[in-house]
Structure 1
Amino acid sequence: MSHDHSHVQEFFGARAADWDARFPDDGPAYASGVDRLGLREGDRVLDAGCGTGRALTPLRAAVGPTGVVLGADLTPAMLEAAVAAGRNHDGRLLLADVAVLPLRAQCLDAVFAAGLVAHLPQPAENLRELARVVRPGGRLALFHPIGRAALAARQGRQITPDDLRAQDRLGPLLAGSGWRMTSYVDEDALFLALAIREG
């Protein structure tokens, strides 16, 4: 099934070059988000919708030299910015749609996804695709370097009850997609929902 991604690519393509410059203080938040994913040496992890690859360096540090780090994004300009920042040394970059990953079933131990949920065209189906590539007992981190209220304020809007990232929306959404939500944090300086791949 094909989705129209041109608007997503346009949005992020236009912003790719100065993305990191606009959000310079996200490093510690990313490190903290990755830390809470509980990766082990040698694990295989995907950064889904990796953008300029800000999570790749902490992900590589977490899985060590024997681990596998993949970064998938469908916006070429974002991946080019990741390469320009040298982050391709920390992970293998894939020009790929997270809705149709070029990966075999259960090949990963974990998925890290920063700011992804809001951009998914079909959230339940797309989260099920992430579940497909993760082994039973593997983990998912849905991350954002700032919480929902802070993000809404930055964008000059209010949080609405239909926000997919609200705890009572996200739990059932994950549960219907092969995941069990195990923790949920929504603070000014961190949004992080963790889930385990059901067997």
Structure 2
Amino acid sequence: MTVVVVQPAAGPAPSAVSRVLTAAGLTARTVPVLPPLREDGAAPAADLSGVEGVIVLGAADPVLVREALAAQVPVLALGPGTGLLARAAGAAVGSRPDPAAVRQPVELTRAAGSDPLFAGATRPSAGLRPARDPLELPAGAVVLASCDGYPEQAFRLGASAWGVRFLPQELPPDPWAEQLLGRFATLVAARAEHTATRAFFTRRADAWEERFAHQAPAYEAAVARLRLAPGGRAVDLGCGTGRAMPALRAQVGPDGHVLGVDLTPAMLTAAARHGRTRHGYLVAADCTRLPLPRASVDGIFSAGLLDHLPDPSAALREWARVTAPGGELLLFHPSGRAERAARHGRSLDPDDLLAEGNLRGALETAGWHLAEYEDAAGHFLARAVPRS
């Protein structure tokens, strides 16, 4: 697991940063504030592949920061880097403050107590002086630390980006600063699996629909196997750009409900751009922890998701929890297992979760009964029903 550390000059990351990242099982990869230009004089494209977090110790490449914000890669910006973070999220240039109005000490706000990064933090050290340069925060920013006369000393943007203005980029050996870095490293490690998924699909979201438009008939045929009744409630898990949603809507009719759930907001943005909101609602959520009550769904459609999850058994249990008696689960892929294995230059793995015996056992353990199983040359399909 890698954290990119953007700093003023080339060289190793500050010792405090390296120490806390190593303790959390993370590796630092440093990037100078001004990246080397390509031969054509342009800056290289931002690449967050294999990156689980970003620490900004200087005025970083705005493309990198915007990419991280879009993919919800955790970002911690300190000192001068906080201004770029705010502007990358759409903030305007701040007005000039009155330095005389800025008074110590920096205090945590009430919002800090429930913040994913600041919860449990003690009062900032007295030696950490407030920032005095102007900064306007974008709409929706949550202020986490303030002082008299200039409140925006620390803030959160969305659910994955933080700016701490009163920590200098040199990062002196301050206990409060090291504790903050330690909590950030722990958060990065805990979110690593989801971060990698979002980063992978965010860069591909814009072209996803066009790339796989030819698979629409296969999705329609698969959804037809769900046998949903008019007025039913259907969920497309890992919906991507929502290619199954029109077919699901056709099955449940105008009185039914269709929900498309995906972990990557960029995919849902692409789905909305392609008109999927005409067929149902789009929700950004973890498919293994659904924001749905028990027994609230009549049919679940999931294409190419289950065997890519970190804990497929837990996912199947969660899907069983939200499925009503008489409901169904349909697992689908527009390619058969043998075709996919050959495409990736490997043979079929007997331990593959989607092999019939393995899948049957996993479903039974999670509360499902495997009713149909097809691993054909042109598709994979498995239909399961809740065990009575």
Whether TM exceeds 0.5 here: the answer is: yes
Larger radius of gyration: 2
How many angstroms does 1:153 deviate by? 2.2
How far apart are the structure 2 equivalents of 1:155 and 1:11?
A: 18
Could you tell me which amino acid in structure 1 is paired with residue 385 of structure 2? I
User: Is the counterpart of residue 36 in structure 1 residue 225 in structure 2?
Assistant: yes
Aligned length: 199
Question: Who is 2:315 aligned against?
Answer: 126
How many angstroms does 1:28 deviate by? 0.9
User: Is the counterpart of residue 185 in structure 1 residue 374 in structure 2?
Assistant: yes
Are the structure 2 counterparts of residues 162 and 23 from structure 1 closer, same or farther at C-alpha, using a change threshold of 3 Å? same
Counterpart mapping for 1:48-127 below 5 A? 48-127=237-316
Which of structures 1 and 2 has the larger relative contact order (alpha carbons within 8 angstroms, sep 6+)?
A: 1
User: Is the counterpart of residue 25 in structure 1 residue 175 in structure 2?
Assistant: no
Of residues 332, 355, 364, the one that matches 1:175 is 364
Are the structure 2 counterparts of residues 3 and 108 from structure 1 closer, same or farther at C-alpha, using a change threshold of 3 Å? farther
SS at match of 1:5: helix
Are the structure 2 counterparts of residues 2 and 136 from structure 1 closer, same or farther at C-alpha, using a change threshold of 3 Å? farther
Could you tell me which amino acid in structure 2 is paired with residue 170 of structure 1? L
Q: Percent identity?
A: 50
How far apart are the structure 2 equivalents of 1:97 and 1:147?
A: 26
TM-score, structure 2 normalization: 0.50
Could you tell me which amino acid in structure 1 is paired with residue 204 of structure 2? R
TM-score, structure 1 normalization: 0.96
**Is residue 112–residue 141 contact of structure 1 (8 Å, CA) maintained in 2?**
yes
How many angstroms does 1:176 deviate by? 0.5
**Is residue 182–residue 194 contact of structure 1 (8 Å, CA) maintained in 2?**
yes
How far apart are the structure 1 equivalents of 2:365 and 2:192?
A: 22
How many angstroms does 1:2 deviate by? 6.3
Structure 2 segments unaligned to the other structure (5+ residues):
1-189
Are the structure 2 counterparts of residues 130 and 3 from structure 1 closer, same or farther at C-alpha, using a change threshold of 3 Å? farther
Are the structure 2 counterparts of residues 153 and 20 from structure 1 closer, same or farther at C-alpha, using a change threshold of 3 Å? farther
How many angstroms does 1:138 deviate by? 0.9
How far apart are the structure 2 equivalents of 1:197 and 1:51?
A: 25
Deviations 1:94-151 (A, max 9, x none): 1010111000000011100011112211111111001100012210000111111112
How far apart are the structure 1 equivalents of 2:223 and 2:191?
A: 31
Structure 1 segments unaligned to the other structure (5+ residues):
none
Could you tell me which amino acid in structure 2 is paired with residue 114 of structure 1? A
Could you tell me which amino acid in structure 2 is paired with residue 155 of structure 1? H
How many angstroms does 1:14 deviate by? 1.8
Q: Once superposed, what is the RMSD of the aligned Cα atoms? A: 1.3
How many angstroms does 1:4 deviate by? 2.9
